[in-house]
Amino acid sequence: MPPIKLAIIGAGPSSFYVASRLLASLPPSSPHHSALRIHMYDRLWAPHGLVRYGVAPDHPEVKNCTHKFDDAASDLRLQFFGNVNIITTPPIAPVPGSVMLPLKSLISHYTHLLLSSGCTLPTLHPALPPSDDCVSALSLVHWYTQHPSVVHKPPPPLEKYKHVSIIGQGNVSLDVARMLLTPPSTLEKYDVPESVLEVLRRSSIKHVSILGRRGPLQAAFTTKELREMMNLEDSSMVPIDHTHLAIPEGTKLTRQQSRTMQLLQKGSKNKPGLDFQDLVVGLLRSPTGLAPPLSSLASPSLPYTLSLAHNELSPEMRAIPTGETSTLRTSMVVTALGHQAEPTIPWYDPSLRHVRAVGSRVVNETGHTMKNVYASGWAAMGARGVLVSTMIDAYGVADTMLADSFPEQFYKEGDALRSATDGGSLGDLSEVMAKEADLDSVPEEVLDAKATGNVTDYNDWRMIDQEEVRRGEKLGKERERMNWEDAKAFLGRMGGSL
């Protein structure tokens, strides 16, 4: 069988889990050990995707998976090319300074392709058009993790805000609320850039409301995150209306639902009424609009009025408006409603808002399976799941790729080798990848950009990683992050690949 020369678009957790599985499955004892090369491309100059740019800074334990990624990258069969944006059309959310590489320039060098670029765009609310004071949670996460796409944008003016309203009932909502309410003196030991800490130290925020259209049993946040939110040292949670915590008769709760209800019924560690910042968890509320009040009534710290529809749950657990409404004065609205893939990603399906893949294999708009083209993680499933589910999915994708390429060793009876078409067979394929490829070749555009100092490799990342940790230790914290300009200059001084 011909070798696997795999290009991976994306260098987040799913990408590394797939690569790690492939490398481990073809060890030196395997007859196919030398028949594998993996080139991993990412539009960001640093690897690890959401682990670096999505995990809340005060959850450092979640980042331990990067040790496994480092182990995979130590295998000479894997190479990383950072700051390379693979495109079919101009991206909606370009990263300043990244190298644009057309997909057609990539695929001629590879026999296999894995789309693992995640979901990089926020899902917006139709009643809340984006503005300076109505932003996605993703924009705030990118700000406090120093994501390369926002490094030149101004920080949020938290010194002007008194009340922040967060729309959504997931862990990202709680992450944002926790970052806004946690004392900077607590956050400063973590991986929070000094520029972010300076803004948080000036913050005037005293109230945060987290609003969800359904009830507590339908909330997507985990019990662990909720408990952390309710135990913040300088905040207290306003008691929730007891009618919203009533459990419908005959409802059998999961273990997590039981714990969530117990927490909400018990209330926060700090009781309201003292000099604490306050947190409101608003259930069964849907935003219907955001407008500034009449200028004669305007409050500089609470300039907006958020309109809310009150809901009840249908038997199918859908949010149904009751006709009752209310308003909330606020300084800023943050929408945390999930994410979707960028529509310019190859083989994007607008009905799914991510790549269409069946059995890990990518399917085109006519329903044909693309030979040797796969998808993993959020690019394939949409923005759901945690690292463990991402790992399980990635391992399955790698196993499918191995079974397709080396069936005599990896195919198992009963494997679903079918395309997306109803009753279709794997034989009904569309071919786009090269039948053969030089195992060590790289697109010329990438080599040219690397020669001019605009592409990073994993050795570069290791040096940057060590330097960020060293800088952090001097400040008594986990690390102090570099931006691209800092990293590029540092590598130049250190004699890195740049």
Q: What is the pLDDT of residues 181-232, one digit of tens each?
A: 999 999 999 999 999 999 999 999 999 999 999 999 999 999 999 999 999 9
d(CA 431, CA 108) in angstroms, rounded, equals 12
The proportion of the chain whose per-residue pLDDT surpasses 70, expressed as a percent, equals: 95
Q: Chain-wide mean pLDDT for the chain? A: 92
* Three-state secondary structure call for residue 138: helix
Give yes or no for a contact between 235 and 181, defined as CB atoms under 8 angstroms apart. yes
297 vs 90: which has the higher pLDDT: 90
Residue 372 has pLDDT above 90, yes or no: yes
Is pLDDT of 423 > 50? no
Dihedral sign (CA 442, 447, 449, 454): positive
Residue 430 has what pLDDT?
83
Identify the CA nearest to 160 among candidates 258, 299, 3.
Answer: 299
pLDDT-wise least confident of 29-38, 183-192, 367-376, 411-420: 411-420
213/358 Cα distance (integer angstroms) = 32
What's the alpha-carbon Rg for the chain, to the nearest Å? 24
**Positive or negative, the Cα torsion across 433, 434, 439, 444?**
negative
How does residue 426 score in pLDDT terms, banded at 50, 70 and 90? low
Q: Where are the domains of the chain?
A: 4-120+340-456, 124-337
Asked if pLDDT for residue 169 goes beyond 50, the answer is yes
In contact, 225 and 171? CB cutoff 8 Å: yes
Look at residue 1 in the predicted model and tell me its pLDDT: 66
> Residue with structure tokens 């005293």?
206
For 178, the token pair is 């926790």
Phi, psi of 267 (to 5 degrees): 90, 180
Q: Given a cut of 60, is residue 87 above it in pLDDT?
A: yes
Quickly count: other Cβ atoms within 10 Å of residue 190's Cβ.
17
Long-range contacts of 303-310 (CB under 8 A, 24+ apart): 303/133, 303/331, 304/133, 304/329, 304/330, 304/331, 304/332, 304/333, 305/329, 305/330, 306/165, 306/330, 306/333, 308/211, 308/282, 309/285, 310/284, 310/285
CATH number of 4-120+340-456: 3.40.50.720
- pLDDT, residue 128, reads 97
CA 158 to chain centre: 24
Domains 4-120+340-456 and 124-337 equal at CATH topology level:
no
- Answer yes or no: is pLDDT of 476 > 50: yes
Inform me whether the pLDDT recorded for 298 exceeds 70.
no
At 96-114, the pLDDT tens digits run 999 999 999 999 999 999 9
Q: Residues 246-268: pLDDT tens digits? A: 988 888 999 999 999 999 999 99
pLDDT at 416: 47
- Per-residue model confidence (pLDDT) at position 424: 37
The answer to whether 327 and 282 are in contact (CB under 8 A) is no
pLDDT value, residue 330: 96
Residue 422 — pLDDT band, cuts 50, 70, 90?
A: very low
Q: Measured between alpha carbons, how far is 442 from 424 in angstroms, rounded to an integer? A: 35
What is the crossing angle of helices 223-230 and 171-181, to 10°? 20
- Architecture of the structural domain at 124-337: 3-Layer(bba) Sandwich (3.50)
Decide: 321 and 309 in contact? Cβ < 8 Å. yes
Query: pLDDT class for 419, splitting at 50, 70, 90?
Result: very low
What is the pLDDT, as a whole number, of residue 343?
A: 92
pTM, entire model: 0.93
